[in-house]
Structure 1
Amino acid sequence: MHELALSQGIIDVIRDQAAAQGFAKVKMVRLVIGTLSHVEPQAIAFGFDAVSRGTIAEGAVLDIERPPGQAFCLSCEKPVPLPERSASCPECDGHQLMVTGGEEMRVKELEVE
């Protein structure tokens, strides 16, 4: 379950930001987890709950944004939506797609005290 390690990474980011900015409590964590990232939001939420216990993020609300997959089709030279990695181009049915969005996972915002 790599989501547990990712959740620990989120706590590490929070710890680093708390040291740099001097806050003592995190009330909300806004994450961006692209639909093509191979990361399950429910597993992240479960993992975050477990690894945040006893930290400044304990009890923080997770708000997870899920940007859709995007690609550029090299065949028809158009930007297209990409619902999953194995999908073909909705314009030309080609498979020469370069992913341009939806793979990200990052901490976007923290609401702190």
Structure 2
Amino acid sequence: MHEMSIALAVVGQVEEAAARAGGVTAVNSVRLKVGELAGVVPDALSFCFELACAGTVLEGAELVTESVPGRAHCASCADDWAVGMPPQLCCPVCGEATAGLLSGRELRIADVHWEDGPARERTREPISEER
């Protein structure tokens, strides 16, 4: 499951940014842009993110995933289209296989909301076995 390695990388990057900012006491939410062609299962990523946050400044943070649809462009006729899943990479207008992907492979941190100042007491909730 590569979602765990992705979750650990996101947590690591947010921790580094929080350390550079100084005084961050808690991370409330992280918003990711996830392309539909990125090969990431959002529910699995959310579960792994919760585990990866345990014991860090991100503990209890909400992960918000924003899906980015896959879009392609035909070099021959200049048409743009939603590629869908499974991806349709031949142009629906002229049938040429000269498509270039415009979007859909993204996997990036879009936003992080955190608190700074005096630390507040955080309570840890057990991870539910059912999701």
TM-score, with length taken from structure 2 = 0.80
- How many pairs does the alignment contain? 113
Q: How does 1:23-38 map to 2 (within 5 A)?
A: 23-38=24-39
1:100 correspondence with 2:102: yes
Give unpaired runs (5+ residues) of structure 1. Answer: none
Q: Look up the SS of the partner of 2:3 in the other structure.
A: helix
- Match of residue 2 from structure 2: 2
Q: Which stretch shows the higher mean deviation, 84-93 or 94-103?
A: 84-93
Give unpaired runs (5+ residues) of structure 2. Answer: 116-131
Superposition deviation, residue 81 in structure 1? 1.6
Q: Look up the SS of the partner of 1:72 in the other structure.
A: strand
Q: 1:33 to 1:42 in 2, by over 3 A?
A: same
Q: 1:33 to 1:82 in 2, by over 3 A?
A: same
- Match of residue 18 from structure 1: 18
- Match of residue 111 from structure 2: 109
Larger Rg: 2
Question: Structure 2 CA distance, aligned partners of 1:38 and 1:7?
Answer: 14
Q: What root-mean-square deviation, in Å, do the aligned CA atoms of Structure 1 and Structure 2 show?
A: 1.4
Post-superposition, which runs of at least 4 consecutive aligned residues in structure 1 deviate over 3 A?
A: none
Contact 2:79–2:91 (8 Å) recurs in 1: no
TM-score, with length taken from structure 1 = 0.92
- Match of residue 49 from structure 1: 50
